[in-house]
């Protein structure tokens, strides 16, 4: 299956609605309007519709991960100053 961008998926959704929610007609319309490049299959359009209904998102959402380094790195001067002002915290 060819990978499509967000713009292409949106076109598929619009054509699906324009064709009375008929995926086969939407594939024909897509092929007519965009003769060059890859064309979606009926199953591709149905998967996009299903995914949108289930997730409220046209494409897969990227997983949000915590950044590895939160904030700035501690400078050696900062560490030394903290140790001098808080002697009970240093070892």
Taking residues 36-46, what's their average pLDDT?
Answer: 94
Instruction: Name the domain count of the chain.
Output: 1
Span 18-28, mean pLDDT?
97
Residues of the domain holding 53: 6-81
The more confident residue out of 89 and 41 is 41
Measure Cα distances from 18 to 12, 21, 27, 32, 59 in Å. 10, 7, 11, 14, 21
**88 falls within a domain:** no
- Read off the pLDDT of each residue in 26-52 and give the average, rounded to a whole number: 94
64 in a structural domain: yes
Phi, psi (degrees; rounded to nearest 5) at 42: -60, -40
- Give 51's contacts (C-beta < 8 A, 6+ positions apart): 57, 58, 60
Query: What distance in Å separates the CA atoms of residue 16 and residue 46, rounded to the nearest whole number?
Result: 9
Would you tell me how many other CB atoms lie within 10 Å of the CB of residue 23?
21
Q: What's the rounded Cα separation, in Å, for the pair 5 and 34?
A: 14
């Amino acid at each position: 299956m060819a990978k499509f961008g967000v713009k292409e998926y949106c076109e598929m959704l619009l054509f699906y609605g324009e064709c009375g929610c008929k995926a086969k007609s939407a594939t024909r319309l897509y092929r007519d309007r965009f003769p060059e490049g890859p064309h979606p299959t009926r199953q591709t359009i149905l998967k996009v519709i299903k995914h949108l209904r289930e997730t409220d998102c046209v494409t897969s959402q990227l997983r949000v991960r915590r950044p590895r380094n939160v904030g700035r790195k501690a400078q050696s001067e900062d560490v030394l100053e903290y140790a001098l002002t808080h002697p009970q915290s240093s070892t």
